[in-house]
Amino acid sequence: MLRPVRISGMRPRSASIPRRWALTAILTIFATHSMQAQTLRLLHAFDVTDGATPVASLIRDSLGNLYGTTNAGGTSNDGTVFKLSRAGIFTVLHNFSGADGVEPQPSVFRDLAGNLYGTTAFGGAAGFGTVYKIDTSGTETVLHSFTGGRDGKYPLGNLVRDKSGNFYSTTSAYLAGTGGTVFKLGPKGKLTTLHTFAGTDGVVPTGNLVRDSAGNLYGTCSLGGIGGGTVWKLDTAGTLTVLHSFDGTDGNDPSGGLIADSAGNLYGTAVDGGSDNGGTVFRVPETGSSFALLFNFDYGAAGGLAFGTLARDPAGNLYGSTITGGGGCLHLQGCGAIWKLDTNNQITVLTNFGQGNRGRTPYGGVILDKAGNLYGTASAGGRSGCPQCGTVFKITP
């Protein structure tokens, strides 16, 4: 039975991997270019009191401030929401403590007024996760506490919002623990289940959700379909269409979710599978007409196991992370890499991670600013006295 189980070893006191790995585990080759001249700058190293083990992607406001979550740490070791200003000032905006949520694994959503919204994988009234809001004064409000019934449980997807103030996201399980759901949460707190997954259309929806201008939703399931997960579309009438079902040769476990371009193409990564079982980068049109396998990871310089969300620049180049690859680490396959995949499907390693304050295992992917700088988190490394705490970093061209 698929069920994300809380594992005490996931906490930063141990040397284990983030629970996001445990959740998903229940669950053409091109030459790699050499590393370009990139500069990795450490912006913050967590120390448990301010958070630990960040596994989500960051968001950035118009002033250049960064916002994110940590999977653990804080006053109750249940995770935090933080802000890192453009000037480098780090602020914990909220410490989770169980009843209001535990382990905010996805990225946050920020509205025009500066309020932040997100989901926690666990905690809440029944222990099955929450949807929360943090206002500009730092006050946290639980907008919905999942019951584990028809509203689902264990939300692992990000929130997207429409012009009417409705939020959309997914839960990774439903009732007995299988399937998962897509839901809508109204501005007054009413939750509506839009779709319940049954296996053939996917199991365990996770990662970045995309909503188009017509109101259609696009996402991924880590498992199900014909075995390796699915890419799906849910239209405004509530009809779900499988755009692609992974079979292992084209990837397994697309748990990072999707991004979209203006032409109606969706891009994502699969954690493993592909020709060398290191995962893949793929493209599928919103129509589902022609799936394209863009790259196979082979655990070489670019690593493998791409859990995070992609970024895309105006020229069409893709940027992402793998949690293996590179050198200078105790793991034989390296501690992770940040890479660029150009429009000719040639990959270039921009930086890799090792021991020490550079961090390691960048689960969350990267975001991109207009100047071409990349920002992300490493889920471990950082302070010498806190090897599992993690970092926030910036990569400049």
DSSP 236-291: TTS-EEEEEE--BTTBB--TTB-EE-TTSEEEEEESB-STTSS-EEEEEETT----
Sheet of 391-396, strand order: 39-45, 391-396, 374-378, 366-368
3-state secondary structure of 22: helix
Q: Which amino acid is at 206?
A: T
Containing H/E element for 21?
helix 19-26
Q: Does the pLDDT of residue 107 top 70, yes or no?
A: yes
- What's the pLDDT tens digit per position in 307-352? 999 999 999 999 999 998 776 665 556 789 999 999 999 999 999 8
- What's the pLDDT tens digit per position in 148-158? 999 999 999 99
Could you tell me the sign of the dihedral formed by the alpha carbons of 334, 266, 215, 193, in that order? negative
User: What residues contact residue 221 under an 8 Å CB cut-off, 6+ apart?
Assistant: 180, 197, 201, 202, 203, 204, 205, 206, 229, 230, 232, 254
pLDDT band at 38 (very low <50, low <70, confident <90, very high): confident
Cα separations (Å) of 14 from 96, 101, 279, 289?
20, 22, 27, 45
- What's the pLDDT tens digit per position in 221-261? 999 999 999 999 999 999 999 999 999 999 999 999 999 99
User: What residues contact residue 160 under an 8 Å CB cut-off, 6+ apart?
Assistant: 109, 167, 168, 169, 209, 210, 211, 217
Residue 160: both structure tokens together? 């997207």
9/225: higher pLDDT = 225
- What's the pLDDT tens digit per position in 114-153? 999 999 999 999 999 999 999 999 999 999 999 999 999 9
pLDDT band at 7 (very low <50, low <70, confident <90, very high): very low
What is the distance of C-alpha 46 from the center of its chain? Answer: 19
* Segments making up each domain of the chain, as ranges: 35-58+309-397
d(CA 363, CA 341): 18
